[in-house]
Structures are given as structure tokens and as C-alpha cells.
Structure 1
Amino acid sequence: MCELYAVNSRDTVNIKPNCDLFYQHSIDHPDGWGLSFWQRNAAIVYRSPLRALDDTKYCAYLQKDLWCTSAMVHIRLATVGVMSSINCHPFRHVDYSGRIWTFMHNGTAFQDSMLEPYKHLCKGDTDSEAVFYFILDAINQAIKEKGRPLTKEERIPIIEERITHLVQGNKMNLIFYDTEQMYVHTNMKGTLFYAQEGNTCSFMTVPINDKQPWQQLPLNRLLVYRDGIRVYEGTDHQKEFFEEMGAPYIEALLKKIGKK
């Protein structure tokens, strides 16, 4: 399964120390890596199908301190999709109002009938990218109906409604950013953690140090962060995912790809 690391902060923070530790996990997650970060209101996104520690671009980005206000970092262990940069996270898309969104996902959409209408839009062949389009479609429809960009408050219930519809029977660790707010969700215990330190909040699927005050992220609800502070906590949708729920689908997938 893939691993995620993200930061949202009011202040400019150096993510290099945690990135160095995080990307050591690419030894066991060799199928690609990605990095997006924001400096002076500019989004920089890089994705590669190479193992992070073997990629010269990785060295170029992280040979020195990397200061930013928000970042999303990903290493891939492929379960679906070929080894290609188009299947690596974070994904980037621009909505109808011109707002840039970046998105990454850890989990599997076992129940994916709602995603079928969006798969033809995907550049790659992962369910994660289809999840991204599923959520953004609702944002775009609201923009179209209102005839103007959505406010930060208006975006929250639209995203919450989409996630609530999607999580039944699916493992959904989601982190995405719209240049103004970071949205975070988990519905499986022990798979996404956060560390609040002043006006900076960090998120990780597997905490990589004991220096930060890591805690289990609240389950089964959308959390929204702005300038490193939690500004919204949704209600419990009560659709927790347990490992055994995915076992029949994993077995079927392994048979399909000839590994069982």
C-alpha cells in the first residue's frame, strides 16, 4: 500500500528532514514517488515512476532545505496500474474557476460503481485518480450552477457529501489541497496520523519519528485545515473500514492478474 505525508502551515517550514526519513520507506515502496509544495503561491508538482532513492530528480529537489507552507508527498506500492508517472500521486487538476487542486490517496475502492463514469477522464489507470475526478466533478457542477467561484466555506459540504457517498465498503485515506484549505479523511484505524505543533499540522500514514506528537486522526469524518489549524470537523459517517472487508476483492484481483 502507498504511504502519504503532508504538511499544512501558516508559516514557512522546512520539510526536508521528514522527507529524508519518509523517502527511506521507498525501499519497500519502489513503484514511484511524488512531491507537491507551495512557495510564493506557486504550486510545484513532480511525479516519477522510479524508486525515490534512485531518482536524480529526488536528489535535485531534496539535496538542500525545502521551505514551504504546504506540501504533499507520496511513495507508491502498486496494486493497480502500470509503473508510470501518470499513475503516481499527487494528482493535479484545475477546476472550472481556475483553482488548482492536488490530491493523493491511500487505500482501495473495492466498491467502485460510482467511479465508472469518471474512468474515461483519467490519464492513468488507478482508482485513486477516478476518486479525484469524482470529487472534483461535484465542485465543478456547483461552480457552473452558481456562475462564480465557490467560497472556502461552500467547498466543504460539497466535498463532505462526496466522500460520505464513496466510503461505504472502501478504504479512503485522502489528503487534498485547493491552495487555500487542506482536506483530510480516514476511515480505517491506525492508517493515518497527525501531529499539531503550533500553526503547523503534519499528516502521515506511518509516523517516521518520535519527536513529533503523533496521534490517530479522528475517524470517519472530513477534517479541514487552513494555515495549519483545523477549522472544520465533520460528523461521524459511521462507515469505518476493516481489513477483512476487502479480502474477497483482493483475492479476486490477485486471480485476475495471475498472482494466485
Structure 2
Amino acid sequence: MCEIFCFNSNKPKQLNTCLECFYNHSEQHPDGWGLANMQSNGFVIDKEPVKATCSQHLKNILSNPVVSKNVFAHIRLATMGEIVSPNCHPFIEMDDSNRSWMLIHNGTIFDYPPLDKYKEFESGDTDSERILLYIIDKVNEFEKDKGAPSTIKERFNLLSDLIADLSKNNKLNLMIYDGDLTYIHSNMKESLYYLKSDDSFLVASTPVNDEEGWMQVELNKLFGLIDGNIIFESEEHENEYILTKEHEEYIQNFMDSLKKGDKFYG
């Protein structure tokens, strides 16, 4: 699978130590890295299809202070899509209201036919990118029907429904940012944790420092964060993901196809 990381705060903080710890996990997740620094004047995105600990570009970034209120990071273990730059997270797309969206994903979509049509339009060939394209289409449809831009609460409610449906029989640990709200979702036990301070949330697949207080993200709920606080919390759905033998075989078939240099689509 992959590992994901998010920092959400009401004031900028330097994150180099946590990011260095996070990227050191790339020995087990060697198929690419990504970093998204969300500044008030736009998103700064860096990513490469190489192991994070082998990336000179990432070393150069982390040799300077990484300071922000909103940072996302990803290290990839490919379970869908080739090991190329367009398949590295984060994924960025714009909706019809000129709102930029970012998504990083830890998991695999085993069965969700509404995503299939996006294979024709995506830049790479991952299920994760298709999730973002699907969400943006649904936001565009909502705003077209409304005849006006959506509110933050309307977008949260819409994504709550979409993600609950997407999570059926699929592993869906997601972090999404729409320029206002950070969305966090997990549906697999012991696969996403958070550390809360007075003014921030640090969320990661595994703890990235030795501080006490790391807790498992509550399963099967969508959370909306702004400035280090939970602004919205969805109702709990019933789609906890449990890895099955069939899913293990599916992932292994993909890994084998990478070694052979074959194209593999789910």
C-alpha cells in the first residue's frame, strides 16, 4: 500500500523533523514520494517516482525549513498503476468554480464501476487519481444544479456521502484539501493515527515522533479540519475494510506484473 501524512494548524510550524521520519519509511514504500505545501497564494507540489531516501530533490527541499499551516506528504507502494511521475501523489485538479483540489490516498479500489470512465481522462493510471476526478465531477454537478458555488458545509456533506459509498469493499484512507477544508477518512484498523495539540493536528499512517498521545483515527467517519480543529464530523458508515485472501492475491498479481514489465489494470 502507501503511507500518508498531514499537518493542519492555525499557525505555521516547521515540520522537517516529522517529514524526515515519515520519508525514512520509504524502504518499505519505494515507488515514489510527494509533498504538498499549501500556501495562501497557491499549492507548492513536488513529487518523483523514486524512493524518497534516494531523492536528491527531496534532500534539497528538506535542507531548508519547511514551514506551513497545511502540509501533506505521501510515499508510494504501488498497488495500481505504473511507477511513473503521473502516478505519484498528490493529485491536483480544478473544479468548475476554479477551486483547486488535492488528494492523497492509501489503499486500493477493488470494485467501484463509476470510476472506470476516468481511465480515459486521467494523466496516469491509478485508482487514486480516478477518485479525485470523480469527486470533482460530483461537486460540479452539485453546483450546476444549485446555480451557485457550494458552501464548505455543502461540500463536506457531499463528500461524506461519496466516500461512504466508495468505501464499500475498498480500502479508503484519504486526505483531501479543497483550499478551505482538510478532509480525513480511514476505514481500516490501525492504519491511520493522529496527534492533537492545542493548535494543530498531525495525522499519519504511523506515528512520526516520540510524543505521547498518538491515537487511532476513528474508523468509518469523515472529518473536516480547519486551523487545527475538527469543524465537521460525519455519521459513521458500516464499511470497515478487512483485507481478504482475494484482495491479497489481487495486489500480488499487480506486484508480479510490475516485475515482468506488464501493464496491469484493475
TM-score by length of 2: 0.92
- Structure 2 vs 1, CA of residues 34 and 253 (structure 1 numbering), >3 Å: closer, same or farther? closer
Give the secondary structure class of the aligned counterpart of 2:172: strand
- Structure 2 vs 1, CA of residues 177 and 238 (structure 1 numbering), >3 Å: closer, same or farther? same
How many Å separate the matches in 1 of 2:64 and 2:54? 17
Counterpart of 1:133 in structure 2: which amino acid?
L
Counterpart of 1:95 in structure 2: which amino acid?
D
Give the secondary structure class of the aligned counterpart of 2:47: strand
Structure 1, unaligned runs of 5 or more: none
The residue that corresponds to 1:108 in the other structure is 108
Deviations 1:168-221 (A, max 9, x none): 111110001011110000111100111111121011011122215210111101
How many Å separate the matches in 1 of 2:37 and 2:27? 23
Asked if residue 39 in structure 1 is aligned to residue 39 in structure 2, the reply is yes
Asked if residue 254 in structure 1 is aligned to residue 244 in structure 2, the reply is no
- Structure 2 vs 1, CA of residues 181 and 123 (structure 1 numbering), >3 Å: closer, same or farther? same
Asked if residue 177 in structure 1 is aligned to residue 177 in structure 2, the reply is yes
Aligned residues: 258
The residue that corresponds to 1:207 in the other structure is 207
Deviations 1:46-86 (A, max 9, x none): 11111112222102211021100101100011122111110
Deviations 1:100-148 (A, max 9, x none): 1110000111112121122222111111111111212111111222232
Give the secondary structure class of the aligned counterpart of 2:107: strand
Give the secondary structure class of the aligned counterpart of 1:254: helix
Conserved 8 A contact 2:3-2:75: yes
Counterpart of 1:181 in structure 2: which amino acid?
L
Identity %: 36
Asked if residue 73 in structure 1 is aligned to residue 73 in structure 2, the reply is yes
Give the secondary structure class of the aligned counterpart of 1:133: helix
Give the secondary structure class of the aligned counterpart of 2:9: strand
Give the secondary structure class of the aligned counterpart of 2:65: coil
Counterpart of 2:164 in structure 1: which amino acid?
T
How many Å separate the matches in 2 of 1:248 and 1:114? 21
Q: Over aligned residue pairs, what C-alpha RMSD do you find? A: 1.7
Asked if residue 167 in structure 1 is aligned to residue 170 in structure 2, the reply is no
Counterpart of 1:49 in structure 2: which amino acid?
P
Counterparts of 1:1-260 in structure 2, within 5 Å, are: 1-244=1-244, 247-252=245-250, 254-255=252-253, 257=256
Conserved 8 A contact 1:97-1:148: no
